[in-house]
Structure 1
Amino acid sequence: MTTSPYDDIAQVPAFEVTSTDVTDGAELPTPQVSGIFGAGGEDVSPQLSWSGFPPETKSFAITVYDPDAPTGAGFWHWAVADIPASVTSLSTGAGDAAGSGLPAGALQLKNDGSLAHYLGAAPPAGHGKHTYFIGIHALDVDSLGLDAGATPAFLGFTMSGHTLARAVIAPWFEVK
């Protein structure tokens, strides 16, 4: 796997994340690709389950980031903060526009497409393979204190002093 860009937030121990929808190092399936941005997909957030995080974890954040996007700053596809520590999985589609599968208290931020939900992969045609880093961040606080106007980049900055451990899977997608 390519070095995780999340290591710039904090180099921390790893724990395990699995998914029934996406596989580390494999191509993203059609549901997790973008229809909104014209890549032929459905913009459905993947199912995620995680375990082995530190016992002192008080909350989680989930992020999906494409460092290969031709923006100079990458592209945040999904960001959710303040997931209670008692929650260890999200179902397929949890990150829809209503956040219908997210637990009470979770905060779904606007992605770099200005949409407060999961936005699937949509790299520019001919730009090559893009890696999508799906991160589950175990945090030492119940809440990061963000408001709905916070950006995913600000989430990352805010997590920098609170990340205990992280689980990452990194599928890819390419539009030829």
Structure 2
Amino acid sequence: MHANDPFARLPEAVSFTVTSTTVTDGAAWPPAQRSSGLPGGKDVSPQLSWSGAPDGTESYAVTVYDPDAPTGSGFWHWAVADIPATVTELPEGAGDDTGSGLPEGACQLPNDARAARYIGAAPPAGHGPHRYFVVVHALDVATIGVPADATPAVLGFTMSQHTLGRAVLTVTAETAETAA
């Protein structure tokens, strides 16, 4: 079920640092960052801070991707483009319906549920553990130039030739089978 690193086939990029007061690399999502369709879930985007982006960074994009979703193409939970290079932090909850915590100029793209917001982890019951790649992409352009209704896959394709660096946190989630 677990494919290799979904970013391994992309052009190489310098690694830099992303941290969070909400989530820990390698640990499970806290309940608030899980889907509102699950007990305790609230669809609250995680707090993120980053540093050490490569010289020449003109903007950032943030994505949250589950390569283990049973779709054949994974599942994009969040995609934000055109974060100014002067911004190095997003507060918890920035990815709400209005993007209230996003900096001016940033744009949330529709995720795979077609909602332009963060939606939390909700792996199918009994499917096993899923990995969620929380990634800050350092880009060499001030705006990536994708339309506001573009898919995260289109954002990824467009970013592939503009990515200078990539900072990654990997978070997990699993939904237990319910008793019948």
Is the 2:18–2:50 contact (alpha carbons within 8 Å) kept by the matching residues of 1?
A: yes
Classify the secondary structure of the residue corresponding to 1:168.
strand
Classify the secondary structure of the residue corresponding to 1:7.
coil
Aligned length: 174
Instruction: Give distance in 2, aligned partners of 1:93 and 1:124.
Output: 24
Is the 1:9–1:157 contact (alpha carbons within 8 Å) kept by the matching residues of 2?
A: no
| TM-score calculated relative to the size of structure 1 | 0.96
Instruction: Give distance in 2, aligned partners of 1:32 and 1:11.
Output: 30
Spell out the pairing of 1:15-54 with structure 2 (5 A cutoff): 15-35=16-36, 37-38=37-38, 40-54=40-54
Q: Structure 2: which 5+ residue stretches go unaligned?
A: none
Deviation for aligned residue 1:28: 0.6
Deviation for aligned residue 1:8: 2.6
Quick check: which has more Rg, 1 or 2?
2
Q: Structure 1: which 5+ residue stretches go unaligned?
A: none
Instruction: Give distance in 2, aligned partners of 1:112 and 1:124.
Output: 15
- Provide the alpha-carbon RMSD of the alignment: 1.1
Q: Which residue of 2 aligns with 1:77?
A: 77
Deviation for aligned residue 1:7: 2.8
**Letter aligned with residue 34 of structure 2:** V
Instruction: Give distance in 2, aligned partners of 1:46 and 1:87.
Output: 16
Instruction: Give distance in 1, aligned partners of 2:126 and 2:45.
Output: 24
Instruction: Give distance in 2, aligned partners of 1:23 and 1:38.
Output: 21
Q: Which residue of 1 aligns with 2:157?
A: 157
Is the 1:9–1:156 contact (alpha carbons within 8 Å) kept by the matching residues of 2?
A: no
Spell out, residue by residue over 1:110-161, the C-alpha distance to the aligned partner (whole angstroms, 9 max, x if none). 0001110000000000000000000000000000111111000000000000
Spell out the pairing of 1:128-143 with structure 2 (5 A cutoff): 128-143=128-143
Is the 1:39–1:121 contact (alpha carbons within 8 Å) kept by the matching residues of 2?
A: no
Q: Which residue of 2 aligns with 1:13?
A: 14
Q: Which residue of 2 aligns with 1:116?
A: 116
Instruction: Give distance in 1, aligned partners of 2:10 and 2:97.
Output: 27
Deviation for aligned residue 1:3: 4.4
Classify the secondary structure of the residue corresponding to 1:155.
helix
Instruction: Give distance in 1, aligned partners of 2:17 and 2:4.
Output: 17
Spell out, residue by residue over 1:41-77, the C-alpha distance to the aligned partner (whole angstroms, 9 max, x if none). 1000000000001121000000000000000000000
